[in-house]
Amino acid sequence: MMPKPTFPIEVAHLEVVKAHLQQQFNQLSWWPTEQPWKAQKEFEALPTTPERLTAWCEKWLNGGEWRQLKRAVQKSKAP
């Protein structure tokens, strides 16, 4: 099994990451694929720091979901 393509979430990208995750929750009732209702509750109660958000993502996101998040962050950095 390949490891998840994780990356540390930086302060500069905190709002982009939060917005992407919230958009996924709003648009996809089954997201993330493992226990979405529990993941969403934990996300809503999460203190918003890069470390906590990274830990939440490592717990709940699969490889494809990480790749989508990384693309959203990269897209926000584009000039």
pLDDT in tens, 3-12: 666 888 999 9
- The rounded mean pLDDT for the chain is 89
Count Cβ neighbours within 10 Å for each residue of 39-63 and write b for 16 or more, e otherwise. bbeebeeeeeeeeebbebbeebbee
Does the pLDDT value for residue 43 go beyond 90?
yes
pLDDT at position 3 is 60
Does the pLDDT value for residue 74 go beyond 70?
yes
Does the pLDDT value for residue 1 go beyond 80?
no
Does the pLDDT value for residue 42 go beyond 70?
yes
| Residue reference for tokens 């996101």 | 61
